[in-house]
Structure 1
């Protein structure tokens, strides 16, 4: 099944509400929406279910379908690609609440395979740990957009014991201080943004859990211009 046909079907089903809930649809209805035969439309739905883009429940006359998280990500990528084409934004503002992490920060800031790349690509050696910020609900869409924007690549690597995943970084400013946000290459969405800096941001900015902060994200790859 061609990628453009899959995207077309996902788009039409999403317009009918299949992202938020199950919808009832017949193969005939879908065939009219995508300008194909009823037999082809039925086959497309079966193939997309097998590929993990849709969930289907068969009924007597109609079937109920819902777009999965995998299918949603396909639509999101297409949406953000068009935003990149038509948008000239150079920065993005996020707001969130400072929160305690689960120790993931040391994972990035104390392992040589990551630290070497931070020094080379970001221009600084990060202080141990990350500042963890839970993004406010009203900024969630922007955060998801950021997940789909190309950043500064931090490559994954392997040691004798295990493999370490990749990530991407964006330069940020918080209350006038330079830092960098890390977005891991992972399959699920998170509302936590992890931030590294050459100094401990909590101490430098006198931050505590529950404080709301504004984060200015620089949407380009070059080193931060002061």
Structure 2
């Protein structure tokens, strides 16, 4: 395991994407960004190179596989530490949205991934809730969820999203979906299930709906 004093430098190099290709960085630039002396920056680079975490060449600095694995391990440890536990309950009022969910959830590229990763193909449509307390959704920003990747179809690109398994009104098993790009603000959440949630629960605009998400 790399010494903790080197982590700021390794993280800075990762931010500069030296894992993708060599990047030319002077010790002056590194010392300024890390608020250390130029001599310390030069020594850290030399020591990290000697221990196999990076390589330097005429093309610049690049991270080795060993350096990448070290940072991946750090990422995994931090993700596990910040991952929420227990259950999250969200409450919101139903409203009629922009009606784009029907088109998107009908796309086979989404349906196939939902079936594989969440165990169901979604009904063509989303249930939209405006949260009573928007801040209550904050744990979602730390939760891993299931990644639904974007794809190209019909000569256009459909963006990715993150889905969280959810129980709606303690009756319907579905998912809360968070698109990478959305027209809605943080006070709105979107739900999907294999059935028409609105119809199955006999809901109308303005009704209060509760969503439970169980974190692993």
TM-score (norm 2): 0.59
Cross-structure match for 2:178: 183
Which of 150, 160, 164 is the equivalent residue of 2:144? 150
- Distance in structure 2 (CA, Å) of the matches to 1:103 and 1:182: 15
Which of 191, 207, 211 is the equivalent residue of 1:211? 207
Offset at 1:193? Answer: 0.9
* Structure 1 unaligned spans of 5+: 6-35, 38-80, 221-226
Cross-structure match for 1:141: 135
Offset at 1:108? Answer: 3.0
Offset at 1:127? Answer: 1.4
| Aligned-CA RMSD value | 3.0
Q: Where does structure 1 differ by over 4 angstroms across 4 or more consecutive aligned residues?
A: 1-5, 81-84
Which of 114, 122, 126 is the equivalent residue of 1:126? 122
Contact 2:84 2:215 in 1 (8 A): no
TM-score (norm 1): 0.56
What's the secondary structure of 1:168's corresponding residue?
strand
What's the secondary structure of 1:89's corresponding residue?
coil
Call closer, same or farther: CA 1:4–1:141 in 2, change over 3 Å.
farther
Aligned residues: 147
- Distance in structure 1 (CA, Å) of the matches to 2:81 and 2:10: 20
1:166 aligns with 2:160: yes
Call closer, same or farther: CA 1:2–1:204 in 2, change over 3 Å.
same
What's the secondary structure of 1:126's corresponding residue?
coil
Call closer, same or farther: CA 1:84–1:212 in 2, change over 3 Å.
farther
- Distance in structure 2 (CA, Å) of the matches to 1:185 and 1:215: 21
Call closer, same or farther: CA 1:174–1:164 in 2, change over 3 Å.
same
Offset at 1:84? Answer: 6.0
- Distance in structure 1 (CA, Å) of the matches to 2:10 and 2:185: 23
